[in-house]
């Protein structure tokens, strides 16, 4: 299949960042050649009984980018637009994301070409169990540990865990993460990405000699990542002055009241008209005068066209790929600090790792214990990234890739190339 423009852009973006990091790291070309390919790509086609009369054939994939630092880790996506090339790019990103926060995994990604909204619960369960069986060639608690992504959730993870467990004859909760707490999920998983992002933001402020107290933050989005950030930030002292969704946003320079906005949103299904707010467009949100801008919705939002008008003092990328290459250069020239996605949104995979550790030891932590471990990992990773950024005079993004690639390169140095 020829890559679509989007797949190609994601892959180009990752490869471009790897090239920039390599220039500074002086890695051998042979290692870069290894990093630029995915280690294993499994394509499966399988039938699913949709009803007594109807059987449909689905295509699914599991891609493992690199296993040098440990088992593969990455989400499973159920979406009509899933392609192998898209998954390859995301598997690569996962390798660097895991390495930047120093958790012992390589990157993976997988998915099934389907529209989960058109599947009944029983069809979705059958599809999941059959897909789990097909990819059991690769997955396992010490081999490859899937997690939820677009179109999949805790229920899908529970079905995969059950299917795998039935095959081996005993319960193996550590084969997937993002499970319900009742079957070995971790406390604190739901808002882990947002909490991780909050810790990264707090560190970035501290670097500039500021605390979060009274800082104004504009958040693009109001889904899982953005909504939880809008809830958590005021508790940490910051003022959330704007949020949005695909239809547009709302603004209050004195700070939005999260509870009232969420109530309004759940009641009316729209942000517009929320108490004590005025409507703004997504474009206006991105150029608001604020201490921090957190794009937490979709990719390619800060572009060559609007980067010159961004008035935030820093950008923390909760979303994956919200800033284009061209925009990145403009922001860098303007001295606006960008905390890159591979660090800023790594809280989710970090708590996935903590879930796996708890499953393996069969001993579970309280939410506070999970948050404290997450905070320590995010803070240390932020510090390591910024130390490289200062030492090599590179952007935080290039530094994050340098840190990640150097860690994987070290694993190769010690392990050597087999045979
Ligand atoms: P979500 O589907 O829960 O929310 C997405 C939000 O974006 C919604 O509020 C939606 O209305 C909004 N949106 C969609 N199109 C938009 C547009 N054109 N303009 C403005 N807003 C728009 O998704 P999520 O889980 O919150 O993920 C958001 C981003 O964070 C994605 O890039 C995702 O890859 C990244 N991320 C999420 C997690 C996680 O644990 N949820 C982890 C890592 C990275």
| CB of 64 closer than 6 angstroms to any ligand 1 atom | no
CB 194 within 8 A of CB 232: yes
Q: What is the pLDDT of residue 2?
A: 46
The whole-model pTM stands at: 0.96
* Mean pLDDT value across residues 196-222: 97
In the predicted model, is pLDDT for residue 183 greater than 80? yes
Q: With cut-offs at 50, 70 and 90, classify the pLDDT of residue 350.
A: very high
Residue 109 falls in the annotated catalytic set? yes
Over the stretch 289-325, which tens digit does the pLDDT of each residue have?
A: 999 999 999 989 999 999 999 999 999 999 999 999 8
In the predicted model, is pLDDT for residue 5 greater than 80? no
More confident residue, 370 or 4: 370
What count of Cα atoms within 13 Å lies in the side-chain half-sphere of residue 178? 26
* Mean pLDDT value across residues 407-416: 97
Work out the percent of the chain whose per-residue pLDDT is above 90.
95
Distance in angstroms (rounded) separating the CA atoms of residues 3 and 343: 27
Q: What is the pLDDT of residue 1?
A: 41
The protein residue with its alpha carbon nearest to ligand 1, atom 20, reads: 246
> Ligand 1 centroid vs 154 CA: distance in angstroms?
17
Query: Which residue of the set 24, 88, 109, 179 is catalytic?
Result: 109
Over the stretch 66-107, which tens digit does the pLDDT of each residue have?
A: 999 999 999 999 999 999 999 999 999 999 999 999 999 999
The protein residue with its alpha carbon nearest to ligand 1, atom 10, reads: 245
Over the stretch 229-246, which tens digit does the pLDDT of each residue have?
A: 999 999 999 999 999 999
* Mean pLDDT value across residues 322-338: 95
| CB of 319 closer than 6 angstroms to any ligand 1 atom | yes
Domains assigned to the chain: 25-171 (3.40.50.10860), 192-339 (3.40.50.720)
Over the stretch 358-376, which tens digit does the pLDDT of each residue have?
A: 999 999 999 999 999 999 9
What count of Cα atoms within 13 Å lies in the side-chain half-sphere of residue 141? 16
Choose one of 150, 192, 223, 322 to mutate for the ligand 1 pocket test, by most ligand atoms within 8 angstroms of C-beta.
223
What count of Cα atoms within 13 Å lies in the side-chain half-sphere of residue 335? 1
Q: What is the pLDDT of residue 8?
A: 79
Q: In what order do the strands lie in the sheet with 278-280?
A: 278-280, 248-251, 239-245, 216-220, 292-295, 314-316, 337-339
Q: What is the pLDDT of residue 4?
A: 62
User: In Å, how far are 93, 218, 233, 294, 401 from 229, measured between CA atoms?
Assistant: 23, 10, 6, 9, 25
The protein residue with its alpha carbon nearest to ligand 1, atom 36, reads: 319
> Ligand 1 centroid vs 343 CA: distance in angstroms?
16
């Amino acid at each position: 299949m020829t890559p679509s423009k989007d797949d190609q852009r994601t892959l180009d973006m990752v490869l471009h960042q790897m090239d920039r990091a390599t220039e500074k790291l002086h890695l051998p070309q042979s290692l870069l050649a290894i990093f630029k390919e995915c280690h294993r790509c499994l394509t499966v086609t399988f039938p699913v009984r949709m009803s007594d009369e109807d059987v449909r054939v689905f295509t699914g994939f599991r891609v493992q980018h690199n296993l040098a630092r440990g088992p593969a880790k990455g989400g499973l996506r159920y979406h009509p637009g899933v392609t192998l090339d898209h998954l390859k790019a995301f598997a690569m990103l996962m390798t660097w994301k895991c390495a930047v926060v120093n958790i012992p995994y390589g990157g993976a990604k997988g998915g099934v070409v389907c529209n989960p909204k058109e599947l009944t619960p029983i069809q979705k369960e059958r599809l999941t169990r059959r897909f789990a069986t097909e990819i059991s060639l690769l997955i396992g608690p010490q081999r490859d540990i899937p997690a939820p992504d677009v179109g999949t959730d805790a229920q899908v993870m529970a079905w995969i865990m059950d299917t795998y467990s039935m095959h081996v004859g005993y319960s193996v909760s550590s084969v997937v993460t993002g499970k319900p707490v009742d079957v070995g999920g971790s406390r604190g998983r739901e808002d882990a990405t947002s909490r991780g992002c909050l810790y990264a933001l707090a560190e970035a402020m501290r670097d500039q000699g500021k605390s979060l107290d009274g800082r104004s933050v504009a958040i693009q989005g109001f889904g899982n990542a953005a909504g939880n950030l809008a809830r958590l930030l005021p508790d940490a002292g910051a003022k959330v002055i704007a949020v949005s969704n695909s239809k547009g946003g709302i603004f209050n320079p004195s700070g939005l009241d999260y509870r009232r906005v969420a109530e309004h949103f759940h009641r009316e299904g729209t942000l517009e008209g929320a108490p004590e707010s005025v409507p703004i467009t997504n474009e206006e949100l991105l150029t608001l005068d604020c201490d921090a801008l957190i794009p937490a919705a979709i990719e390619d939002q800060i572009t060559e066209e609007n980067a010159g008008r961004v008035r935030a003092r820093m950008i923390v990328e909760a979303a994956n790929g919200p800033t284009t290459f061209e925009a990145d250069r403009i922001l860098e020239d303007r001295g606006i600090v960008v905390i890159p996605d591979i660090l800023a949104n790594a809280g989710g995979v970090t708590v996935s790792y903590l879930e796996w550790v708890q499953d393996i030891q069969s001993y579970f932590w309280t939410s506070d214990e999970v948050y404290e471990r997450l905070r320590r990992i995010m803070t240390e990773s932020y510090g390591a990234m910024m130390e490289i950024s200062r030492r090599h005079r590179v952007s935080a993004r290039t530094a994050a890739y340098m840190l990640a690639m150097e860690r994987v390169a070290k694993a190769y140095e010690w392990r050597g190339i087999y045979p």
